[in-house]
């Protein structure tokens, strides 16, 4: 049964392109963060505005934007506590009423990101996240603490790259009085044939296949259930289309994920879950303004299925959203 909530998640990723090896080497020698970032932008053709669908395999360290407090450049706000440059969406906070039932949905995380420590942009991160849904049919209140490292493997200019994230989390569902620890290895593939950056004023399209592994130890469970461990794999993808009209503010996105446990402890059952999200979003800020760090978004999305990676139950939700990204 469809449920109407305001709101859910939307688009938020950073995409750039690759450059020449000798020029990249000269950029690495620059010690100032903002100057080094500008160097990579020039070499790689890093997009602004409508060119927001290219991929960078060598990001620079966090750079302070105009008007942004100096301490804020190492922090970001997204919908979940895992940090990477492809699979992150804006945070969502909503209040709604459906068939006489008041409901709220919160998907938000504050993420600290450290400086990059090698030529492929690897950097540490840590976060605190909340995933709260008060809708009676799928009520959850998941709080999590997360930490990990993220960066690229291989060189996009040589044929493909992989954006990998290795993370661990401790999460607790206060509503259901359950708790678990997880370890996740998440990978997005950047393949040149699937990445079509926009020319000036034109449209852009990108498709990123996704594969990964997760280990989960459920050490506190609901009455009648059993504690146990789960070892699973997942695959799917994320596609984004940005029309050339409206200054690159309008974005269409499709996400699919299939999860399957290949090994579980003796007292628990294997899980097989699918999750699908379709969304259309409109930026309430100017995407061509590279100094912007406060980024509100409005959008409409449809979510169906379960996502064990973040502890969400089976959803069947249509959402009108006011969302926010910081950095």
Give the C-alpha separation, 166 to 169, whole Å.
Answer: 11
Residue 113 Ramachandran class (φ > 0 left, ψ -120 to 50 alpha, else beta): beta
Contacts of 252 (CB under 8 A, 6+ apart): 240, 241, 242, 243, 279, 280
| Predicted model pTM | 0.76
Q: How far is CA 141 from the centre of its chain?
A: 20
Give the C-alpha separation, 130 to 153, whole Å.
Answer: 30
Domain of residue 232 covers 3-326
Contacts of 241 (CB under 8 A, 6+ apart): 203, 204, 205, 251, 252, 253
Question: Could you tell me the CATH number of the domain that includes residue 266?
Answer: 2.40.160.40
pLDDT at 137: 64
pLDDT at 200: 59
Pairing of strands 101-113, 140-153: unpaired
Count of CB atoms within 10 A of residue 67's CB? 9
Give the C-alpha separation, 17 to 55, whole Å.
Answer: 4
Q: Scan for tokens 């504690």, then name that residue.
A: 227
pLDDT at 219: 94
Give the C-alpha separation, 301 to 282, whole Å.
Answer: 12
Give the C-alpha separation, 148 to 237, whole Å.
Answer: 22
Pairing of strands 312-326, 3-5: parallel
Could you say which residues of the chain have pLDDT below 50? 1-31, 33-34, 36-55, 57-60
Pairing of strands 178-190, 312-326: unpaired
pLDDT at 217: 96
Counting the structural domains of the chain, the total is 1
What 171-176 contacts at long range (C-beta under 8 Å, 24+ apart), as own/partner pairs, is 171/142, 171/143, 171/144, 171/145, 171/311, 172/142, 172/143, 172/144, 172/220, 173/140, 173/141, 173/142, 173/311, 174/141, 174/142, 174/143, 175/139, 175/140, 175/141, 176/140, 176/141, 176/222
pLDDT at 40: 42
């Amino acid at each position: 049964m469809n449920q109407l909530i305001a709101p859910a998640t939307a688009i938020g990723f950073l995409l750039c392109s690759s450059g020449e090896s000798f020029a990249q080497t000269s950029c690495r020698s620059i010690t100032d963060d903002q100057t080094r970032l500008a160097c990579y932008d020039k070499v790689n053709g890093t997009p602004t505005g409508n060119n927001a669908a290219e991929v960078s395999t060598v990001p620079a360290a966090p750079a302070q934007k105009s008007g942004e407090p100096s301490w804020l450049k190492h922090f970001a706000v997204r919908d979940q506590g895992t940090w990477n440059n492809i699979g992150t969406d804006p945070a969502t906070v909503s209040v709604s009423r459906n068939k006489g039932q008041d409901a709220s949905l919160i998907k938000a995380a504050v993420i600290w990101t450290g400086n990059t420590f090698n030529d492929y942009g690897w950097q540490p991160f840590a976060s605190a996240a909340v995933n709260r849904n008060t809708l009676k049919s799928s009520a959850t209140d998941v709080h999590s603490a997360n930490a990990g490292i993220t960066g690229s493997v291989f060189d996009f200019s040589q044929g493909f790259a992989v954006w990998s994230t290795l993370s661990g989390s401790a999460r607790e569902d206060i509503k259901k009085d359950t708790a678990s620890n997880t370890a996740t290895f998440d990978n997005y593939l950047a393949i040149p044939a699937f990445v079509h950056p926009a020319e000036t004023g034109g449209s852009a399209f990108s498709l990123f296949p996704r594969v990964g592994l997760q280990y989960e130890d459920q050490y506190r469970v609901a009455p009648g259930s059993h504690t146990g461990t789960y070892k699973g794999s997942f695959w799917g993808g994320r596609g984004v289309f940005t029309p050339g009209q409206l200054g690159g503010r309008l974005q269409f996105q499709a996400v699919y994920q299939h999860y399957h446990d290949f090994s579980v402890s003796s007292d628990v059952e294997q899980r097989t879950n699918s999750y699908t999200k379709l969304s259309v979003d409109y930026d309430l800020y100017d995407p061509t303004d590279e100094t912007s760090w406060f980024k509100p978004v409005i959008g409409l999305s449809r979510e169906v299925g379960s996502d064990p990676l973040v502890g969400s139950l089976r959803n069947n939700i249509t959402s009108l959203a006011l969302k926010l990204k910081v950095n």
